[in-house]
Amino acid sequence: MFAKIQNKWHGCALGKYVDSQGGLFIKGSFDTRLFAFLMIALVGGLVMLYSASYPNAYTKGYDPAYYFNGQLQGAVAGVILLLIISKFNYKLFMIPGAYVGSLFSIATLFLVLFVGSTGDGEDTSGDGNTIRRWLSLGSFSFQPSDVAKLALILTLAYILHRDHHRMVSKKPLKTGVKFIDKIFGKVNSYFGISLINESSIPVMKCVIVILAYIAPVLVGSHLSGAIILALIAAVLLYVGEIRWTWVLFFVVVVILLIPVLFATGLIREYMLDRIVTFFSESPDATGADWQTTQALYAIGSGGFFGKGLGQSVQKYNYVPEPQNDMIFSIVVEELGFIGGAAIVIIFGLMVWRGIAIGVNSPTRYGALVAFGVSFKLAIQVFLNIAVATDMIPNTGITLPFFSYGRTALLVNLVEMGILLSISRASRVKKV
């Protein structure tokens, strides 16, 4: 009986695909170092989330543990998913991640523009236009842009892995149509470089995918989400060995697109206010710059050792929504410079470990996914802390594993599960 089932499994399309990738599960030891770093960040994030959020929850009429309980549920579900995913062969995510993941993610990014909500039923733009970022499926709601970050990593990693030989090729592009090939030849001669060659096709595939993700996010006025997606794409294209001529081309295109974004209104009024306020010689501490000003007060009052866990003053309706993108300021107020430095160190160790896993991955796909996940984490942590310390304009980027958000937490833990799966196959030391 078992033999018949086994034969049917190996004979079906799914079974053949699994066999072609080396089986359903992956051999290798569990990466205790990465898991330990992750658990420190996760537990520390839960503790600080409760400390930062209970005054705001109470003010809104919720149970003081409202945000903590929601995050804890996401953490438990996420860790279970992480442990399961870490056992599966990461190569199985190649085709489903690229095609199914992209179709689902892009579809939800467009769908949220029409039937989405703000998450709290309030206008969050400040200019009278509702910003829709959440999709609800019954009692469950999620933010499609959080899922899109992982889907983009898996999709670009697959394309760059599959088409690598063409990505690095300098051979002239031959279409078989004489007049088109002649035009391509003249373009290359005019610029004096092989701009249009065999690498053009995989690069254009990547560009189409990137635009399909970023366009609906920009239309939905989620600038921070678009920035992160663009930076993730840039890192993966660089690691995927894109030629410098394409890098120069993309830089020029981005510069030319900036005035278009302003002219079309995709850069909203409240975004402009944040940028203007940041560069102003006299910041509006009681208006547009209120959140950043209060966050700086929190950081400054923390000193070296902090006021003590739970002793923050700024979380009492001074720092708006302290459980979200400004939670780092509350951490530093309560735990001081030492607490802030500890967060930077633990995230630094996680990123370093992820890069080491990528470098030692036996496959290009595994390396690209590991680099994508690691740099996504690094980008978000850097931008969040840079905003909290007033190094860059306020962008609303959350701090992974610390800021409130079950969707983001689940996605982050799934990413770590995939990274742990890649680690099992890598040559990196596990203990």
Between residues 19 and 268, the one the model is more confident about: 268
Would the pLDDT of 193 be above 50? Answer: yes
Domains of the chain, by residue range, sit at 41-78+288-431, 88-267
pLDDT at 350: 97
pLDDT at 158: 92
103-107, 114-118, 145-149, 371-375, range with the lowest pLDDT:
114-118
SS3 329: helix
Half-sphere exposure of 213 (CA within 13 A, CB side): 32
Query: Span 135-139, mean pLDDT?
Result: 73
Question: For residue 252, what are its two tokens?
Answer: 């020029």
Question: For residue 263, what are its two tokens?
Answer: 């002219």
Strands (E), 294-398: none
Question: Rounded CA gap, 303 and 362, in Å?
Answer: 46
Q: Where are the alpha helices (DSSP H) in 22-125?
A: 32-59, 66-87, 94-95, 101-115
Would the pLDDT of 385 be above 70? Answer: yes
pLDDT at 190: 54
Question: Rounded CA gap, 351 and 379, in Å?
Answer: 10
Q: How confident is the model at residue 121 (pLDDT cuts 50, 70, 90)?
A: very low
Q: Which neighbouring-strand residues pair with 140?
A: 137
SS3 13: helix
Highest mean pLDDT among 87-101, 242-256, 274-288: 87-101
Question: Rounded CA gap, 278 and 291, in Å?
Answer: 12
Q: Compute the C-alpha angle 206/78/228, nearest 5°.
A: 30
Question: Rounded CA gap, 378 and 372, in Å?
Answer: 10
Question: Rounded CA gap, 267 and 261, in Å?
Answer: 6
Would the pLDDT of 351 be above 80? Answer: yes
Residues 147/125/294/408 CA torsion (nearest 10 deg): -10
Would the pLDDT of 130 be above 50? Answer: yes
- For a pLDDT cut of 70, what percent of the chain falls above it? 75
- Cα distances from 122 to residues 117, 131, 177, 397, in angstroms, run 9, 9, 56, 19
Asked whether 194 and 168 are in contact (CB, 8 A), the reply is: no
Would the pLDDT of 102 be above 50? Answer: yes
SS3 311: coil
Q: Compute the C-alpha angle 351/234/97, nearest 5°.
A: 75
Between residues 17 and 413, the one the model is more confident about: 413
Q: What are phi and psi of 173, to 5 degrees?
A: -80, 125
Average pLDDT, the chain: 81
- For a pLDDT cut of 90, what percent of the chain falls above it? 37
Q: How confident is the model at residue 124 (pLDDT cuts 50, 70, 90)?
A: very low
Sign of CA dihedral 330, 336, 339, 342: positive
Q: Where are the alpha helices (DSSP H) in 220-316?
A: 223-239, 244-263, 269-279, 290-302
pLDDT at 250: 74
Task: Note the pLDDT tens digit of each residue in 235-274.
Answer: 898 888 777 777 777 777 777 777 776 666 666 666 666 6
Name the pairing type of β-strands 135-137 and 140-142: antiparallel
pLDDT at 152: 94
Q: Compute the C-alpha angle 348/353/359, nearest 5°.
A: 125
Q: Which neighbouring-strand residues pair with 141?
A: 136
Q: Which residues of 253-286 are buried (b: 16+ CB within 10 A; e: fewer)?
A: eeeeeeeeeeeeebbbebbebbeebbeeeebeee
pTM given for the model: 0.87
Q: What are phi and psi of 172, to 5 degrees?
A: -60, 145
161-175, 379-393, 402-416, range with the lowest pLDDT:
161-175
Q: How many CB atoms lie within 10 A of CB 51?
A: 22
Question: Rounded CA gap, 232 and 151, in Å?
Answer: 11
Q: Which residues of 308-344 are buried (b: 16+ CB within 10 A; e: fewer)?
A: eeeebebbeebbebbbbbbbbbbbbbbbbeebbeebe
Strands (E), 114-225: 135-137, 140-142
Closest C-alpha among 342, 82, 124, 353 to residue 221: 124
Task: Note the pLDDT tens digit of each residue in 23-71.
Answer: 677 788 889 999 999 999 999 999 999 999 998 888 888 998 999 999 9
Q: Which residue has the tokens 């065999």?
A: 198
pLDDT at 253: 74
